[in-house]
Structure formats: C-alpha cells, structure tokens
Chains A and B, each alone.
Chain A
Amino acid sequence: MSAPALEVRGLEYAYPDGTAVLRGADFHIHPGERVALLGPNGAGKTTLVLHLNGILTPDAGNVTVAGLPVQPSTVKEIRRRVGIVFQDPDDQLFMTTVRRDVAFGPANYGVTGAELERRVVEALADVGMEGVADRPPHHLSFGERRRVAVATVLAMQPEILVLDEPSSNMDPASRRELADVLAGLEITLLMITHDLPYALELCPRAMIMNHGRIVADGPTAELLADRELMSANRLELPLGFDPALVRPADLPRSPR
C-alpha cells in the first residue's frame, strides 16, 4: 500500500459567526486514485477543498499532502502540489491572455523562459486548447474557459488535481470534451460534483459528505446504487439513469 497522496484527519472548521461547517472530516487518497466527493449543498465540500492547500486554516485536525503537513511554513510547496480548479472559470482566469494566465502559476514558482513556455504549451495541449494561447479569456466559450482553467493548474505540475463542480453549466458536448480531457490525465484526482453520472464515468471511488463529515466511502457504482444512502444525503440520480445498467467495461478502473 503506497503512502497517501492526500490525508485529511479530523478536520473541523467553523465560520467566524460560529456556524460549524466541517465536523471531523476524515479520509485519505492514494496516488493515482480518482475520487468523487458527493454531497448536498451546504455539506462543506468547497470549504474542505479550501483547506487542502491552506487557504483556510482548520480549527482542529490536519491535512497532509504526500507526507507534507499543511502549515504556514509549507504552504507554498503545498499549493504547487495541490492544484485546485475553481467552479467559476472567471474566478480562475484573471490575466489578460490565456498564455499569461497559464504561465501565472509556474512563474510564481520561479519558472522562466523556454521552460515556462514549454509548460504553457504542454498544459494547453493536454486540454486540447493549443490554439487560444494569445486570446483573452473572456472571448472563449464557457466550456473552453473551463478547460483553460484546468490547464492553468496543470502547468504547475501538481500531484493532486482538485476540481470543484467541473461539469456545472456546461453544454453536453463541452461536458463530454472535458470528461475526455480528465480521463486522459494521469494524475491523482479529487472531483467535487453534483453530476452523479459524471462521477460514475470518471471516478472508481466516491465519498459522500454531509453535515461536515464523510458519511460514506466506497466504489462509486455501489454508493449510487444504495437508494437509502442516497436519499438520506439528498442525492438523486437523473430520471431514467440506473448505475446498474452501465456496462462494467464503460466504468473507470481503479489504478490499484
């Protein structure tokens, strides 16, 4: 068994007004795993993500990334290791051209010149957006912006890719294109999503979060087939979608 790529232990966090959001979240992810984080609105999923790279500091508990604890002295290296793609690409893409935006992360880590350019070109190629490097982000479609947002994080060569609602607001074709991109990446992946078929398609393992805790953790197909568990956590499959009818050959395989 390899050392966890990400380990979260007893994480607790309350907003300044005292509202508790995380109430002892516990889980770990091994290198190469693809894990979906499911749960209703307000479960604490996005708050949890902001702890993974030290944006928020927990009231109790700890986060470890590939053996490195998240603390003020390690936060710069942690942020290189944990690449977060936020829900709204307009929050992620703030520079005046795609090229500058993709270069922003690695440049913050001292990458310059030809190496920086190579990172930009490779990251854009990974998401199939080679031709847009010199365009301003706001002139891209929403689906294109989201793929570029993934590229901005890939250029930092992270060890874990964390995606917050990657398929939200996407038309079916863009959703499919992004799924193809994500399926082709050889990287540890944690994906927050309400899109349950997307989770089943891309992640062999899923966790359900509710009331600030991980309440279920297991193979995605099994969790989605557990009607009682789903109902208790305000999760619903789309009308007509039955995970039992998905062919095993179409399901993603665990790396281990």
Chain B
Amino acid sequence: MKLAIIAGPASVGKTAVARHIIREFRDSSNPAYVKIDVVRAFEDEELQEEFGIATRKVCSGDLCPDHTGIMVLQDAISWARDLESDLLIVESAGLCLRCTPYTTQAFGIAVLSAVSGSNSPLKMAPMIAQADMAVVTKTDLVSQAEKEVFREYIKAVAPSIDIIETNAIQGTGMRYLMKAIAAFPDITNAGEIVLRGAPPLGVCTICVGKKEIGWQHHFGVIRPLEEADNIYRGD
C-alpha cells in the first residue's frame, strides 16, 4: 500500500486534488481516504458518495489537527490495510503553516493557491520544503507572468521541488502528479514511519520532538482512531 499525505492552507483546493487522485486510482488501487479537520468536515461523505470508496474523518476539537493526524496515522494505515486498499490518502486540516504532516515512506503533496499572494510560499516554507511535490492550484485565474513569478518564490523555498500547475477543477496538468504517485514505492515497514520534519517547540510529546506515529508511542493527550469523540475539552 502507498501512502499520500496532502497538506496546504485552508481553501486552496486540497480536496479537489484528492478527488483527481481518487478518480485516477479508483479502478487500480481501491483508495481509502482520511480527512483530518478541526470542528467539522464533510469531505469524507462527499467523496464516499461520489466514488463509493472507504472514507473517514477525524475532527481534532481542542487538539492541534496535525497533532491529531500524527496520533491516528498508524491506526489509519491499519484500517486501510484491513480494507485491502493499495492507496491511503490523508488530507490535513490545513491550518498550521509551521508543522508539516509528511512522514517517511509517504508521498508528500503541498497544495498552494496561485491567488494567495506572492509571499505565501515564504510564509508556509516548512510545509513546502518537506514535500515531494508542490501543486499550484487556481492558475487559470492569474496571468502567465504571475505564474512564473509565483514559481520563483516556491523555488526560493525549495530549489529542487517538483512543481505542477493546475486548474484543479478541470484537472489540467494533474497527469504529472499521477505519474509521480504511481512511481512512488509502497510502505515497506509501517512501524518505522516517522515525521520528516522536526515539530515546533512545545509541551506535548509531539511538540517536544517525538517523531513516532501512533498514540502508543505518546503520553499526555492521546487519541486512537476508534475513539473519535473521546478528546480533551479544555477546562
């Protein structure tokens, strides 16, 4: 099974990118999809209805959504394996531009919007620098010149990153993303998956630098996939 992790700010078109991946791999790979969000999420229901694939969501509530995503990732891999899926797609909530949810043995996709301002790649540098591919969406709304300028800003952050430009509604240019996912290796040993980047300084086990995925490796506020509602609610 392959693992693809999609990150990027809110409303850039992460789900539209996921939709194209699912459409491409629906027949060959029995994709499974997990959406991580904070308060509410609807993508799981929409994609299940549209493609008839296995989907689920995790709302992090009072927790940081990336923290939650890391906690439940090992469970999610087991869930998708039990379903005999060959491709697990995990879509982040897209709120924190400091954490990067990408792990080893996973294909990391950073989604950026061409209409988000030329400095936006600099603002979300960690999220781009750790990714395998940057997908620039909404390029139909800007001029050729602006696309090229935006590309220069991404390269300033990650000089060797693979960039594709797309209008994700119609999916133009997506063929390069599909090729890259198809060529990416399967998970070899899920027990050894760790975060690619160092998390920010903080007080939880993930924040202080433990990179192992799965709640079994953490203490304090922990959370398995099956107890989606059992979360800390503050004081």
Q: Real complex partners, A and B?
A: no
